[in-house]
A and B are shown apart, each in its own frame.
Chain A
Amino acid sequence: MSETAYSAVLIALMSVVTILLRSAPFLVFKNKAPAYVVYLGQMLPAAIIGMLVIYCLKDVSLLSPPFGAPELIAGLLVVGLHAWKRNILLSILAGTAAYMILTHLVF
């Protein structure tokens, strides 16, 4: 399969799975979902966000310069700024700007 076709198939899969998730309750559960599904629904979001943080940082090398320093500094900035201002857009913009400045000019 060509790379273009492969990408198109993967995008179609993401689309279909997302649509299935959003429509499943209307098709399957009607008014009540099984308790286990409800439980996972409450617990999964935070766990998956944690997983995605690691996923985003998976290629950072701690053994070669700059030893993950830009990621660490910009990441801590995001945590601190977010705890202070609680504004997700501000946190993202400031963190990304800090990271780009650090990688372009400092490290």
Chain B
Amino acid sequence: MINCLKQQRGDGSMKTVRTAFMKSLPVMAGYIILGIGFGLLAHRAGYGFLWVLAMSLFIYAGSMQYVGIGLLAGGASVLTVILTTVMVNARHLFYSISMLRHYGHAGRYKPYLIFSLTDETYSLLCDGKTPEGADPDRFRFLVSLFNQSYWVLGSVIGSLISGILPFSTAGIEFSMTALFIASLTEHWLTEKNHIPAVTGLLGTLLCLVVFGSGRFLIPAMLLITALLTLFRNRITVGKKVDP
């Protein structure tokens, strides 16, 4: 009898693993390829396998890891690293806010669910839907875990193949530039309001000219925040709100 129950639970479990894996598939290719890019980039900057593994396991934020390699290699200050991480990852606050309802009572899965809430994982889980019959918290946990495993796998592959590629990886650093140019283009095409993008571009360019390439990030972040705060009463964002 007990065996029977166990068996049944085991089957239900496996089914949840399968549906979670299917759900995670759209993220697989992207994470593996971007992960490989990260591994190659890190290797070129002098950060080998263990560094890559540690960053993908413990930071697990794509853009920030790309930027982080630049900061590490450039000998950035502690303050620069903290502020840059806050700014680059600020959007994650809002993923968490919108998942408060779903993640708030996820029990033992909650810490990992919150830790692993990347852009892509959010985009898969933000509708709040989970398959019928599956434990929703476990399902979300598995989707999140699959996603991070693709990212870790990709970055480790990138790190390991870096040395044996038949061509020079010089120029691979442009993958980060391309990532941000493509993201900015995407923002530009989807958002009606271009003030934030222009503020970011011009504010940073100004700080680069004034402060030089070694120390412009902190002034740029302060200037951008100040300008956006000033613009607050002049621009309206989001949906119309009923009075």
Contacts and interface: CB of A to CB of B under 8 A. Distances in A.
A100 B200 contact: no
Contacts of B189: 83, 86
B96 A93 contact: no
A53 B182 CA distance: 10
Given A14-B81, A46-B196, A91-B182, 13 more contacts: A10-B72, A17-B86, A22-B92, A42-B237, A49-B184, A49-B200, A53-B180, A53-B181, A57-B177, A75-B177, A92-B37, A100-B172, A104-B171
Nearest to B176: A56
Contacts of A83: 185, 189
Contacts of A11: 51, 54-55, 58-59, 68, 72
A38 B236 CA distance: 12
A19 B179 CA distance: 23
B238 to A, nearest CB: 6
Interface of B: 29-30, 33-34, 37, 47, 51, 54-55, 58-61, 63-65, 67-68, 70-72, 76, 78, 81-82, 85-97, 100, 103-104, 110, 114-115, 117, 168, 170-187, 189, 191, 194-201, 203-205, 208, 213, 216-217, 220-221, 224-225, 228-229, 231-232, 237-238
23 contacts: A11-B58, A11-B72, A15-B58, A18-B89, A21-B86, A22-B93, A26-B96, A26-B104, A31-B100, A36-B229, A39-B228, A39-B237, A42-B94, A43-B228, A47-B224, A49-B184, A50-B199, A51-B201, A51-B221, A54-B208, A56-B177, A96-B178, A100-B172
Contacts of A25: 93, 96-97, 100
Given A18-B64, A96-B172, A96-B175, A40 B225 contact: yes
B123 to A, nearest CB: 12
Interface string A91-104: 11101100110011
Q: Among A30, A50, A57, which residue has the most Cβ atoms of chain B within 10 A?
A: A50
Contacts of B91: 41, 44-45
Interface of A: 7-15, 17-19, 21-26, 29-31, 33, 36-59, 71, 74-75, 78-79, 82-83, 86, 88-89, 91-93, 95-96, 99-100, 103-104
Nearest to B40: A96
B235 to A, nearest CB: 8
Contacts of B186: 82, 86, 88
Q: Among A9, A39, A71, which residue has the most Cβ atoms of chain B within 10 A?
A: A39
Contact of A50 (B61, B97, B201): B201
B92 A75 contact: no
Contact of B201 (A30, A53, A79, A92): A53
Contacts of A54: 200-201, 204-205, 208, 220
Contacts of A46: 184, 187, 191, 194, 196-197, 200
Given A26-B100, A47-B199, A100 B174 contact: yes
B168 to A, nearest CB: 7
B148 to A, nearest CB: 13
Contacts of A40: 90, 225, 228-229
A21 B200 contact: no
Contacts of B114: 19, 22-23, 26
